[in-house]
Structure 1
Amino acid sequence: MTRASGTAGFQSQTDTVSSSRLTNAVAASLAVAALSLCLIVTLTVLSTKATMAMGLPV
């Protein structure tokens, strides 16, 4: 069984499927999402520490 030339694996020619503006928009939105996730985690940790420092009301 022989293989046709140019059909093996990733050796075929690739075409550009997305524009650079789309790539930049996706990268920017991922950066904003990562930053907001870090902010949420930081606020959660700080509020948990503050709650534990207050103690239980009697």
Structure 2
Amino acid sequence: MTRSPGTEAGFKGRRALSPSRLTHAVVAALALSSLSLCLIGAISVLSTGLSMAQPL
């Protein structure tokens, strides 16, 4: 069985990493969730420090 000259096996003819809207949306969602997680952590640390500083 002969192949036509323009075809290649596997992913050689394609770009492996092509930027798309979905990729950018996933990256933006991960960045936003990471930022919000850091913000929640910082708020919880600050509130714990403030509650320990309160006299009983």
Judge same fold: TM > 0.5, yes or no.
Answer: yes
What interval of TM-score do these two structures reach, taking the shorter chain for normalisation?
0.5 to 0.7
Partner of 2:49: 49
Q: How many aligned residue pairs are there? A: 44
TM-score (norm 2): 0.67
Per the alignment, in what secondary structure is the counterpart of residue 24 of structure 1?
A: helix
Unaligned 5+ segments in structure 1 are 1-11
Q: Once superposed, which parts of structure 1, at least 4 consecutive aligned residues long, lie more than 2 Å away?
A: none
Q: What is the TM-score normalised by the length of structure 1?
A: 0.65
Q: Post-superposition shift, 1:55?
A: 2.7
Unaligned runs of 5+ in 2: 1-8
Q: What residue number does 1:13 align with?
A: 10
